[in-house]
Amino acid sequence: MFILRSIFVDPWPFWAGGIVIGLLVPLLYYYFNTALGVSTGYGNLVKIFLPAKNLQWIKTKYTETYSWRVYFIIGIILGGLLSAILSGNLGITTEMGRFTAIAGWPAVLNAVFFFVGGILLGLGARIAGGCTSGHSIHGIANLHISSILATIFFIIGGIITANIVRSLFLGGAW
Amino acid sequence: MDKKLGFLAFGILFGFALSRVGASDYDLIVGMFVGQDYKLVGVMATAIIVGALGMQVLKKFAQPVKSGEPLKISYKELKKWSIAGALLFGFGWGITGACPGTVLAQVGEGKLFGLFTFTGMICGTYIYARLKEKHPDL
């Protein structure tokens, strides 16, 4: 029972998550000859949810609307759901850690804040050619210089905005 | 293994691992950027090392890959604006405490504001598609 509890209820130690995530890189190559990556699949979602079928980039790059990338995205959502169910944390919550606990903004402003951040993530990932999984995990594991550089600037950007948000809205608390 | 079902299964494993290790937790990601909690640095470092070792094993012992094709590693080229894009991505990472993978785990966990990050990401990708019409070098 201890093992089941460690896997499904208690938070994992860093190395357990690292091992599972890291193993995805060779496993996806072995089974599908495909690189680990999530953000490219958001182009499929654009094609599904937004009027974008006439945009050249969508037309040429996303010929198959419901490709494996959409299934990967759905899988990750289901994985989060499964984790919440098994650990007994299932339910819709408006909490987002210290941000909602300390900033005390009305829900509409919180929504705008996370939405704007999401726009930067989506736009930035496409211009950079990948995200944390494609560049930082897959790319660096294959010692790609472009991925090492991209990751350095991911982290610089994150340090800048996280510290601005902390000092402006979270009272410097941590 | 069917590719779509395979990716559904690996996606579930990925999302489950991200959620269990705390990568979908705003406090852990932002805590890393403000220098208060380095658990996620450990997660990423372990993942990179395990991924790198796994790739070496794959190259030595498991070639060609299962389908019989030669292993084809994808390389993301550095383009003119890549670094600027990476910085923009980082800005979003530090604001939302999420990235394109972990936000999906957040949505699955029922975090309402994660849904707004997720919607923003789709819109950001749409903005890219629009910009790309006039600026092919993006």
Question: Which tokens belong to A37?
Answer: 């990556």
Q: Which of B36, B87, B30, B33 has the alpha carbon at shortest distance from A114?
A: B30
Residue pair A99/A173 in contact (Cβ under 8 Å)? The answer is no
Average pLDDT for residues B114-134, to the nearest whole number? 97
Does residue A21 have a pLDDT over 90? yes
Could A128 and B85 be called an inter-chain contact, meaning their C-beta atoms sit closer than 8 Å? yes
Question: A2 exposed, middle or buried (CB, 10 Å; 0-12, 13-18, 19+)?
Answer: exposed
Average pLDDT for residues A158-167, to the nearest whole number? 97
- CA torsion A65→A72→B138→B99, rounded to 10°? 140
Per-window interface: B 40-99 vs A, CB < 8 A: 40, 42-52, 54-55, 57-58, 62, 65-67, 69, 71-79, 81-99
Could B100 and A131 be called an inter-chain contact, meaning their C-beta atoms sit closer than 8 Å? yes
Question: pLDDT at position A70, please?
Answer: 98
CA distance A167 to A172: 4
CA distance A112 to A123: 16
Q: Which residues of A touch B106 (CB under 8 A)?
A: 80
Residue B81 carries which DSSP code?
Answer: T
Task: Quick: pLDDT tens for A71-116.
Answer: 999 999 999 999 999 998 889 999 999 999 999 999 999 999 999 9
Residue pair A125/B35 in contact (Cβ under 8 Å)? The answer is no
Question: Which tokens belong to B54?
Answer: 């796994």
Secondary structure (DSSP) of A92-132: -B--BHHHHHHS---HHHHHHHHHHHHHHHHHHHHHHT--I
pLDDT band at B2; cut points 50, 70, 90: very high
Closest partner residue to B123 (CB to CB) among A23, A75, A122 is A122
Does residue A36 have a pLDDT over 90? yes
Does residue A138 have a pLDDT over 90? yes
Does residue B101 have a pLDDT over 90? yes
CA distance A72 to B4: 8
Q: If DSSP codes are grouped into helix, strand and coil, which group holds residue A149?
A: helix
Mean pLDDT score of chain B: 96
pLDDT band at A2; cut points 50, 70, 90: confident
Whether A171 contacts chain B with CB within 8 A: no
Q: If DSSP codes are grouped into helix, strand and coil, which group holds residue B111?
A: strand
User: Tokens 């309402």 — which residue?
Assistant: B112
Please tell me the distance in Å from A59's CA to the nearest CA on chain B.
10
Please tell me the distance in Å from A171's CA to the nearest CA on chain B.
13
Residue pair B40/B29 in contact (Cβ under 8 Å)? The answer is yes
Could B24 and A80 be called an inter-chain contact, meaning their C-beta atoms sit closer than 8 Å? yes
CA distance A83 to B98: 17
Q: How many CB atoms lie within 10 A of CB B121?
A: 33
Question: pLDDT at position A8, please?
Answer: 87
Closest partner residue to A55 (CB to CB) among B97, B130, B138 is B130
Q: Examine the predicted complex and report whether its ipTM is higher than 0.85.
A: yes
pLDDT band at A3; cut points 50, 70, 90: confident
Which of A33, A76, A94, A165 to substitute to test the interface with B, most B CBs within 10 Å? Answer: A76
Q: If DSSP codes are grouped into helix, strand and coil, which group holds residue A174?
A: coil
Residue type, A19: I
CA distance A76 to B105: 6
Q: How many CB atoms lie within 10 A of CB A54?
A: 8
